[in-house]
Structure 1
Amino acid sequence: MNIEQARFNMIEQQIRPWDVLDTAVLELLAVVKREDFVPPAYRALAFVDTEVPLPEGQLMLAPRVEARLLQEAKVQRHETVLEIGAGSGFMAALLGHRAQRVISMEIRPTLVKMATDNLRRAGLSNVTVREGDGSQGLAAEGPFDVIVLSGSVAAVPQVLLDQLKVGGRLVAVEGEEPVMRATLRTRTSASAVTKVDLFDTVVPRLDDFAEPSRFHF
């Protein structure tokens, strides 16, 4: 496989057609080596329009979904970012190239180690992976400029919105299969948060977020 050709094709045939037009994001995807964050057994899938298997039944998001979420977050160089769901560390790496500091929370120890090792090899000293329950955020380190949920939730918990600075953004995929939607929330004041629907997609669940009751009376 010609890796650079495959990377180019991924950007031009999958990502750009999905309304990822921010040149800084596209350039970043050309230089951050996605293949280095994919388990060796699935290296051939690094640039394919699909989710990639990770240890413990987890999945790496499809490239176009990662790229679109990154674009919508509009991370700036001076900002601090909290990511929920480190996975293999690839999204944290992308965020790390754009932000001043990134903390990525991951509840599964196997993935904490995998992401940490991958990020170290990639030379990203401003990204830290923390083992813990991301559904509660990380209030002790907040508030944050940006919060990114790298997986879906039934609904964004208030505890995460409370950890956004004024002007801060939270990007997430919400809902239940087969209907999920990426959303962008922006804290406009100490007491107000706006919400914009971005695009429809279906992505794997994050661990330990509350699910709606299945009981109807």
Structure 2
Amino acid sequence: MTDFQAARLNMVESQVRCNSVTDSRVIQAISDIPRERFVPQSCQGYAYMDEDLKIADGGREGVSRYLMEPRVFGKLVQLAEVDSGDLVLDIGSGTGYSAAVLARLGSAVVSLECDEDLAKRASSTLNDLGIDNAAVVTGPLQQGYADQAPYDVIFFNGSVEDVPKAILEQLKDNGRLVTVVGDETAGSAMVFVRAGDDTSGRKAFDALVQPLPGFQREKSFVF
């Protein structure tokens, strides 16, 4: 067993399983994907630590990008209840780790990324790993990707202050959208379910993860 394989096994046992992730398909998918391939080479030794790992500095919007910590990521993926026949939209997929895991669970993944450099890295890594049911597309994250809608599952790979109505409308009937809603100080993991023209949301657990660019509310000034 290589050092990375041992680290991955330890991550699953000490960070994922022990934090209420019980779905065997989710555990297997996280066990199968080499997380170290989705971080900068200089950070590979830290790939399995229980913390958000920076993969890119802030771009035009000044929001740095991170690989979500394994503990929260596993719980969010489980919350999405991805079935083997599901079409998944992965928003803010970064270097493609979340897309790789979701591709093991669903039928196909549309991996949406706003940063062209990250998107190229994601495409290259997914191709190198032989993951052929995940396609990387580029565009503004806050618009979703209507071209392939509707989706069975929409997964946000980071936190948002609000979920745009335009993205909720890209869900199929009975489709699920999973994200962390909050800011830099507090957040809640939420699952939204569409029923006809209505969408309802419920809080699943407290969570604090790094924000995705494009979802920040405009700040108001008081004079």
Match of 1:175 in 2: 182
Matching residue's letter, 2:75: R
Q: Distance in 2 between the 1:36 and 1:27 partners?
A: 17
Gaps of 5+ in 1: none
Matching residue's letter, 1:43: Q
Q: How does 1:23-172 map to 2 (within 5 A)?
A: 23-56=24-57, 57-172=64-179
Q: Distance in 1 between the 2:68 and 2:13 partners?
A: 18
Q: Distance in 2 between the 1:215 and 1:143 partners?
A: 38
Q: Give the Å deviation of 1:54.
A: 0.8
Q: Distance in 2 between the 1:141 and 1:5 partners?
A: 38
Q: Distance in 2 between the 1:216 and 1:186 partners?
A: 37
SS of the residue corresponding to residue 30 of structure 1 reads: helix
Match of 1:202 in 2: 208
Q: 1:157 to 1:200 in 2, by over 3 A?
A: same
Q: Give the Å deviation of 1:177.
A: 2.4
Matching residue's letter, 2:23: D
1:211 corresponds to which of 204, 208, 217: 217
Does the 8 Å contact 1:154/1:212 carry over to 2?
no
Aligned residues with identical type, % of pairs: 35
In the superposition, the TM-score normalised over structure 1's length comes to 0.94
SS of the residue corresponding to residue 112 of structure 2 reads: strand
Does the 8 Å contact 2:90/2:111 carry over to 1?
yes
Once the two structures are superposed, residues 38-61 of structure 1 have per-residue CA deviations (whole angstroms, 9 ceiling, x without a partner) of 211001111110111212332111
Q: Distance in 2 between the 1:96 and 1:200 partners?
A: 26
Q: Distance in 1 between the 2:81 and 2:40 partners?
A: 28
Q: Give the Å deviation of 1:3.
A: 2.3
In the superposition, the TM-score normalised over structure 2's length comes to 0.92
Matching residue's letter, 2:26: V
Match of 1:19 in 2: 20
Q: Distance in 1 between the 2:111 and 2:166 partners?
A: 17
Q: Distance in 2 between the 1:216 and 1:167 partners?
A: 42
Gaps of 5+ in 2: 58-63
SS of the residue corresponding to residue 54 of structure 1 reads: strand
Does the 8 Å contact 1:180/1:202 carry over to 2?
yes
Matching residue's letter, 1:125: D
Q: Distance in 2 between the 1:166 and 1:142 partners?
A: 12
Q: Give the Å deviation of 1:212.
A: 4.6
Does the 8 Å contact 2:183/2:211 carry over to 1?
no
Q: Distance in 2 between the 1:46 and 1:34 partners?
A: 6
SS of the residue corresponding to residue 194 of structure 2 reads: strand
Matching residue's letter, 1:54: I
